[in-house]
């Protein structure tokens, strides 16, 4: 373990920004709630999230192996979004090594390289853009300094390339230099290179985890293993709101392979010598649940209605309320979206090994720190005795932004004194998900005589997304009022409209709702952009021109207009129906990344078929164009899946369906045959990529369907009558 | 006329009357025998009006018109699933040989016995009944007709049919349908396996008559 | 009871009490081949797809007792870095995987398809490949499948006329 002399540097963040700022504002501003709330809402809508973790020394980030490779320890997890590859590119460029010399691994919590936030919100690359490069540049300088000292020359005589230092006629690899160094001098952060001088950043480098994923390497949480491993299973509720009372374990105790049945106050579980044996024993445990009420889908639909629940004004400009108050010339429409499941293919679970003085957890999670702290609390141990070893995630999508199942695995391991691997069944995943909440939208507008929008109002009713998540400090709820995840994408982005407002209606549902990739963006964009289409048609203006003419002239407005124009041009957008196909246009801005899409659609046997999607997105600086494209392609089809097929229902108290197939999702045959992605870079820092492309697709398809069939689809999943 | 002559005339009358009487009696007797139905009587036409005994037919058809049977005897190319006969998930379909697609076949998921862990049903030679045996949408009488017709039933004789209906493991799967993907037992036909088999055999033994509906 | 089979070219014997244990768990936990994945355990997602005697089988719904005497291939046996299967090579060229969890199942299903239909049309692909990919990498998968066909063609030894 090397020590390093810490020096004050620009890396230390004086204010933890983002959510920390909310805490600071909380005290003095309670009296000015509405204005401040809107201010915070605006801030959250556009804010860059700073990296909230340990950037004090490069030593916990970069490890140099004897083979002269650099292992980058990433506190952000890789769930397919390509972050590892971007980090490798950024690090390689500043470290002066070849991209093949870099290997990115997950940082385990005991190393101290812990992300205080989470991996999510499309923030990993934007948060690490400056800190990681600074750390890499610092590491490079540390190596140069050390080499210069070892060679006996001044550091200005030293040059570096591909992990090798040259100077004074000598050659030293980074491995040579780093060997046996006990104490590093951490210098001031050097200047970063110019982006145009980067060799890797900006290039379509193949994913660094590609080969592992193609050749079946055991890299996922479910693949984790240890000697003497046992298998656990926990009884999980089937009914909404079920409270665990107790269990009769008599039948389970003698089942084959059972090591122990563990009864806790809050759950009952079994440990056995194989997964199948654990599941079989679990089947015969008779758990007792207290269920207050047998919910039905209709009950939820009744709750999620604009006008019910608590309203919060989150956006206001001009006098929309007054203008839209009377019915003269008033255009109004309603839209709905259903409960959505994450359905990521790797179920949640963990391998826990609880020993006397230390705990090791191997698992897929998006919240390393929170999970560590929850386990430490449950086991009454210090947090630094709990080591979370994150694995590659078989899908995240926000499902793993809270992973308390690791606590249960730890309890089981402690009870048997051996490592225990405990996973959800697929049915348990479907019934114990933290769902995308259902929504209801009411939009109102009035047009001027020239066919522009005079005033527009968006009311969105939704279950919670952010509130109830352990990621938010408790103080956030009373301060923010409206759930910032629920109204994500719900604000009016057309700043040239003189009067607009957005009202978020908050309703707490009886089952868990939380973060689902892009949060409220998909549903909100569906509602707003369908409505914009309706208004454009009423105004007799084509939808592209209609949108362009209502965008303000500033930086955000400029970027938004550019993606609209790019999408329209690349797709050859037309309102006409040609050979049984029509196009639909939609655009959204998510966390500063505008994204416009055109869907080319036909209807065959009353079924919607999407042939092609054109996508123009401006995520700012593009680290890896191939991976940004991949995110667009995937998000578009995932958005299609949610817009056209996915729906959870509640039947006699149980969430249903509980299996793929009945939970309909987009398959190979549904995927568009063509996806054209145009990337714009009208900002010089990297912004959000993983979620923004989910926004427009629902509305784009519905708008195309309208042109084709004259039927306005206002409910997802989209179905023709 | 002399007395002798009178007696002769009477003899003749008696003879004639006796003969006539005998003929009448014998005819009547043979007519009566015909009504009772001896083993020599053979029914002329299977499509003629109601046959007396059809309870075995009804028992058999209760099974053969059950959703589970019809699910694999669709009138299109799509196997059906469940009590509500919804189309098989994932667009699974007949393929070219009733066994699914070229690489993803029925046998990719369905094995020769029910799988109690996955809830996937199974039986030997799991496959769709050929198109000629499409029963979905047919009435009981239509199913029975199609079944007896050698041009549509795979050239099966009555013997073959009895074997198929009472001994084929895929057919008998109806009585042991396993559990679904949530572990819940599938519904069974409304008659027991024994009653069904007995009904089939009896129906064929009685000539496989299809009552008019 | 003992069950013997060949897996990825090697003979293995497994001693197991519950012979109905899905082959998936024997492969993953007894034989330590983690490439074949668990997604649902109900033969609905296809993440567990492997080959038994050259046919695609969803191993979560295949009792290990049926593996007796069979030849099994998993993703680890399909090919490796030194000798990748055309499907794997195409998957690399097109940079298909995102999270990667469902990919082995798709590659095995695709390899089975190319064994039966060396030059599948899009309709053949749609019909035969209905595994579930939540990251929705289908767009690149389709390209990779067509590319794999090309690679397979190129790899075919040229025969004398």
Extents of the domains making up chain B: 55-205
Q: How many CB pairs under 8 A join A and C?
A: 183
In CATH, what number does A3-13+52-214 get? 3.30.365.10
Test A395 with C101 for CB contact under 8 angstroms.
Answer: yes
pLDDT on residue A25: 44
Nearest residue of chain B to residue C41 (CA atoms) = B118
8 Å CB contact between A586 and A700? yes
User: Angle C16-C18-C21 (CA atoms, 0-180°, nearest 5)?
Assistant: 95
Cβ-Cβ contacts under 8 Å, B97 against chain C? none
8 Å CB contact between A174 and A168? no
Cβ-Cβ contacts under 8 Å, C37 against chain A? 220, 222, 345-346, 394
Predicted ipTM of the assembly: 0.97
Of B104, B111, B116, the CB nearest to C62: B111
- Of the residues B89, B104, B185, the best mutation for testing chain A's interface (the one with the most A CB atoms within 10 Å of its CB) is B89
pLDDT on residue B67: 86
Cβ-Cβ contacts under 8 Å, A665 against chain C? 132, 134
The token duo for B10 is: 């009477």
18-47 in chain B: CB under 8 A from chain C: none
Test B182 with A669 for CB contact under 8 angstroms.
Answer: no
144-183 in chain B: CB under 8 A from chain A: 181-183
Cβ-Cβ contacts under 8 Å, A206 against chain C? 92, 95
Cβ-Cβ contacts under 8 Å, C102 against chain A? 345, 394
Nearest residue of chain A to residue C19 (CA atoms) = A276
**The pLDDT of residue C1 is above 60:** yes
In the complex, which subunits touch C with 3 or more CB pairs below 8 angstroms? A, B
Confidence bin at B112 (pLDDT 50/70/90): very high
Nearest-Cα distance to chain A for C122, in Å, is 8
Nearest-Cα distance to chain A for B184, in Å, is 12
Strands A102-106 and A159-161: unpaired
Show the domains of chain C with their CATH numbers. 2-77 (3.10.20.30), 86-155 (1.10.150.120)
Gyration radius of chain A's alpha carbons: 27
Nearest residue of chain B to residue A658 (CA atoms) = B182
Instruction: Kindly report, as residue ranges, where domains of CATH 3.30.365.10 are found in chain A.
Output: 3-13+52-214, 221-292+348-423, 297-341+434-709
Test B181 with A283 for CB contact under 8 angstroms.
Answer: no
Confidence bin at B30 (pLDDT 50/70/90): low
| pLDDT tens string C47-63 | 999 999 999 999 999 99
Gyration radius of chain C's alpha carbons: 16
Those residues whose C-beta lies under 8 Å from the C-beta of residue C21, and which sit 6 or more positions away, are A274, A276, C63, C64
pLDDT on residue A467: 85
| pLDDT tens string B66-83 | 988 899 999 999 999 999
Nearest-Cα distance to chain C for B115, in Å, is 6
CB proximity A669 to B under 8 Å: yes
Test B183 with A659 for CB contact under 8 angstroms.
Answer: no
Distance CA A458, CA B41 (A): 85
Nearest residue of chain A to residue B81 (CA atoms) = A662
Nearest-Cα distance to chain B for C74, in Å, is 15
Of B91, B117, B181, the CB nearest to A659: B181
Distance CA A159, CA A598 (A): 50
Of C44, C66, C117, the CB nearest to B103: C117
**What is the average per-residue pLDDT within C11-16?**
97
Test C134 with A397 for CB contact under 8 angstroms.
Answer: yes
Name residue A590's beta-bridge partners: A593
| pLDDT tens string B174-192 | 999 999 999 999 999 999 9
- Of the residues C131, C135, C141, the best mutation for testing chain A's interface (the one with the most A CB atoms within 10 Å of its CB) is C135
Q: In degrees rounded to 5, what are phi and psi of residue C20?
A: -90, 0
Nearest Cα to A666, choosing from A711, A616, A613, A626? A613
Nearest Cα to C120, choosing from B104, A617, A470, A237? B104
Test A662 with B117 for CB contact under 8 angstroms.
Answer: no
Test A661 with B91 for CB contact under 8 angstroms.
Answer: no
Nearest-Cα distance to chain C for B59, in Å, is 34
Nearest residue of chain A to residue B88 (CA atoms) = A661
Nearest residue of chain A to residue B180 (CA atoms) = A659
Cβ-Cβ contacts under 8 Å, A669 against chain B? 91
Test A283 with B117 for CB contact under 8 angstroms.
Answer: no
Cβ-Cβ contacts under 8 Å, C40 against chain A? 426, 659-660
Residue C71's SS3 state is: strand
**The pLDDT of residue B2 is above 90:** no
Question: Residue with structure tokens 């066909």?
Answer: C149
pLDDT on residue A23: 42
Nearest residue of chain A to residue C44 (CA atoms) = A660
Q: What is the DSSP string of A299-360?
A: HHHHHSSTTSSEEEEEEEETTHHHHTTS-TT-EEEEEEE-BB----SSPPEEEEEE-SS-EE
Cβ-Cβ contacts under 8 Å, A275 against chain B? none
Nearest residue of chain C to residue A228 (CA atoms) = C29
- Of the residues B77, B78, B91, B118, the best mutation for testing chain C's interface (the one with the most C CB atoms within 10 Å of its CB) is B118
Test A343 with C100 for CB contact under 8 angstroms.
Answer: no
Q: What is the mean pLDDT of chain C?
A: 96
Q: Which residues of A105-133 are buried (b: 16+ CB within 10 A; e: fewer)?
A: bbbbbbbbbbbebbbbbbbbbbbbbbbbb
- Of the residues A215, A518, A642, the best mutation for testing chain C's interface (the one with the most C CB atoms within 10 Å of its CB) is A215
Q: What is the mean pLDDT of chain B?
A: 85
pLDDT on residue B165: 94
8 Å CB contact between A700 and A597? yes
In CATH, what number does A297-341+434-709 get? 3.30.365.10
| pLDDT tens string C94-131 | 999 999 999 999 999 999 999 999 999 999 999 999 99
pLDDT on residue A299: 97
Pick the CATH number of A221-292+348-423 from 3.30.465.10, 3.30.365.10, 3.90.550.10, 3.30.70.20: 3.30.365.10
8 Å CB contact between A508 and A300? no
Test B118 with C61 for CB contact under 8 angstroms.
Answer: yes
8 Å CB contact between A547 and A495? no
Question: Residue with structure tokens 């005795």?
Answer: A385
- Of the residues A274, A662, A670, A671, the best mutation for testing chain B's interface (the one with the most B CB atoms within 10 Å of its CB) is A662
Give 10-residue mean pLDDT values along chain A (721 residues). 38 35 40 59 66 92 97 98 98 97 97 93 94 97 95 94 95 94 90 96 98 98 98 98 97 97 98 97 97 97 94 92 96 98 98 97 97 98 97 97 97 98 98 97 97 97 88 76 85 95 94 95 98 98 97 96 98 97 97 96 96 98 98 98 98 98 98 98 94 98 97 97 91
Nearest-Cα distance to chain B for C92, in Å, is 23
Distance CA A345, CA A69 (A): 33
How far, in Å, are A93, A106, A108, C26 from residue A139 at the CA level? 12, 19, 20, 46
Test B107 with C58 for CB contact under 8 angstroms.
Answer: no
């Amino acid at each position: 373990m090397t020590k390093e002399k810490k020096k004050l540097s620009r890396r230390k963040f004086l204010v933890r920004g983002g959510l920390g700022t909310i805490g600071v504002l909380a005290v003095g501003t309670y009296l000015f709630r509405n204005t401040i709330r809107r201010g915070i809402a605006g801030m959250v809508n556009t804010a860059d999230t700073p990296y909230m973790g340990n950037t004090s020394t490069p030593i916990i980030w970069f490890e140099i192996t004897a083979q002269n490779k650099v292992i980058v320890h990433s506190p952000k997890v890789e769930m397919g979004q390509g972050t590892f590859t971007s980090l490798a590119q950024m690090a390689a460029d500043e470290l002066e090594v070849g991209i093949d010399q870099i290997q990115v691994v997950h940082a385990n919590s005991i190393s101290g390289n812990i992300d205080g936030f989470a991996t999510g919100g499309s923030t990993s690359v934007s948060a690490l853009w400056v800190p990681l490069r600074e750390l890499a540049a610092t590491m490079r300088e540390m190596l140069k300094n050390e080499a210069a000292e070892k060679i006996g020359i001044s550091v200005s005589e030293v040059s570096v390339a591909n992990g090798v230092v040259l100077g004074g006629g000598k050659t030293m690899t980074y491995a040579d230099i780093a060997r046996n160094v006990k104490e590093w001098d951490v210098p001031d952060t050097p200047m970063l290179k110019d982006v145009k001088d980067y060799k890797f950043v900006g290039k379509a480098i193949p994913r660094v985890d590609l080969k592992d994923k193609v050749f079946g390497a055991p890299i996922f949480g479910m693949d984790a293993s240890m000697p003497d491993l046992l298998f656990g299973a926990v009884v999980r509720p089937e009914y909404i709101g079920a409270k665990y009372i107790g269990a009769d374990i008599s039948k389970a105790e003698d089942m084959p392979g059972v090591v122990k049945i563990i009864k806790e106050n809050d759950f009952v579980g079994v440990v056995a010598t194989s997964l199948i044996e654990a599941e079989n024993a679990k089947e015969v445990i008779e758990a007792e649940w207290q269920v207050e009420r047998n919910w039905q889908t209709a009950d939820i639909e009744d709750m999620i209605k604009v006008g019910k629940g608590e309203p919060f004004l989150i956006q206001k400009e001009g006098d929309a309320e007054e203008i839209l108050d009377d019915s003269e010339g008033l255009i109004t429409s309603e839209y709905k979206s259903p409960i959505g499941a994450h359905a990521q293919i790797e179920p949640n679970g963990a391998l826990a090994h609880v020993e006397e003085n230390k705990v090791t957890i191997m698992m897929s999670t998006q919240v390393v720190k929170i999970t560590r702290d929850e386990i430490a609390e449950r086991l009454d141990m210090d947090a630094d005795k709990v080591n979370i070893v994150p694995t590659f995630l078989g899908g995240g999508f926000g499902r793993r932004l809270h992973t308390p199942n690791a606590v249960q695995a730890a309890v089981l391991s402690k009870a048997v004194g051996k490592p225990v691997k405990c996973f959800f069944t697929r049915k348990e995943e479907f019934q114990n998900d933290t769902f995308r909440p259902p929504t209801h939208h009411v939009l109102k507008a009035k047009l001027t005589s020239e066919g522009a929008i005079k005033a527009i109002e968006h009311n969105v009713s939704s279950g919670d997304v952010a509130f109830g998540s352990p990621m938010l400090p408790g103080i956030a709820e009373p301060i923010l009022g409206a759930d910032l995840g629920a109204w994500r994408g719900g604000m009016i982005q057309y700043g040239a409209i003189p009067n607009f407002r957005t009202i978020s209606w908050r309703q707490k549902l009886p089952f868990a709702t939380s973060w689902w990739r892009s949060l409220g963006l998909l549903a909100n964009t569906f509602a707003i952009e369908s409505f914009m289409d309706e208004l454009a048609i009423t105004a007799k203006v084509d939808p592209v021109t209609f949108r362009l003419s209502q965008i303000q002239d500033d930086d955000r407005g400029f970027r938004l207009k550019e993606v609209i124009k790019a999408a329209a041009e690349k797709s050859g957008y037309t309102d006409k129906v040609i050979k049984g196909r029509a196009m639909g246009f939609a655009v959204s801005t998510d966390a500063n990344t505008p994204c416009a899409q055109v869907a080319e659609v036909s209807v065959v046997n009353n079924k919607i078929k999407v042939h092609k999607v054109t996508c123009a997105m401006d995520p700012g600086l593009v680290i890896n164009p191939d991976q940004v494209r991949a995110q667009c392609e995937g998000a578009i089809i995932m958005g299609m899946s949610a817009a056209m097929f996915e729906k959870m229902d509640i039947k006699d108290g149980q969430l249903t369906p509980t299996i793929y197939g009945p939970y309909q999702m987009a398959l190979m045959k549904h995927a568009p045959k063509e996806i054209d992605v145009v990337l714009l870079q009208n900002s010089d820092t990297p912004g959000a990529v993983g979620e923004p492309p989910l926004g427009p697709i629902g509305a784009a398809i519905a708008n195309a369907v309208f042109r084709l069939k004259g039927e306005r689809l206002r409910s997802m999943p989209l179905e023709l009558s | 006329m002399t007395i002798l002559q009178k007696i002769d005339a009477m003899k003749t009358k008696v003879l004639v009357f006796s003969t006539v009487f005998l003929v009448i009696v014998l005819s009547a007797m043979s007519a009566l025998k015909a009504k009772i139905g001896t083993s020599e009587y053979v029914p002329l036409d299977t499509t003629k009006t109601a046959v007396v005994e059809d309870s075995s037919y009804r028992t058999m058809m209760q099974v053969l018109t059950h959703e589970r049977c019809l699910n694999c005897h669709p009138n299109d190319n799509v196997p059906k699933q469940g009590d509500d006969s919804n189309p098989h998930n994932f667009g699974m379909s007949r393929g070219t040989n009733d066994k699914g697609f070229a690489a993803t076949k029925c046998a990719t998921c369905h094995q020769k016995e029910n799988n109690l862990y996955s809830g996937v049903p199974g039986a030997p030679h799991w496959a769709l009944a050929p198109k000629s045996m499409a029963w979905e949408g047919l009435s009981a009488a239509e199913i029975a007709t199609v079944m007896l017709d050698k041009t549509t039933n795979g050239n099966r004789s009555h013997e073959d049919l009895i074997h198929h209906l009472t001994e084929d493991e895929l057919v008998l799967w109806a009585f042991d349908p396993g559990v679904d993907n949530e572990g819940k037992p599938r519904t069974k036909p409304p008659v027991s396996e024994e009653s069904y088999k007995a009904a089939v055999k009896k129906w064929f033994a009685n000539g496989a008559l299809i009552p008019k509906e | 009871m003992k069950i013997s089979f060949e897996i990825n070219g090697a003979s293995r014997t497994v001693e197991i009490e519950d012979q109905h244990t899905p082959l998936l768990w024997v492969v993953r936990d007894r034989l330590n081949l983690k490439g074949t994945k668990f997604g649902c355990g109900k033969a609905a997602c296809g993440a567990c797809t492997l080959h038994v005697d050259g046919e695609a089988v969803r191993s979560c719904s295949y009792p290990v007792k049926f593996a007796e005497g069979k030849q099994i291939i998993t993703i680890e046996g399909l090919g490796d870095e030194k000798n990748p299967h055309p499907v794997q090579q195409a998957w690399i060229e097109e940079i298909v995987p995102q999270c990667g969890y469902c990919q082995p199942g798709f590659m095995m299903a695709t390899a089975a398809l190319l064994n039966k239909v060396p030059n599948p049309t899009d309709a053949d692909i749609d019909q035969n490949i209905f595994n579930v990919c939540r990251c929705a990498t289908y767009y690149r998968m389709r390209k990779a499948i067509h590319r794999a066909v090309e690679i397979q063609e190129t790899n075919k030894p040229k025969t004398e006329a």
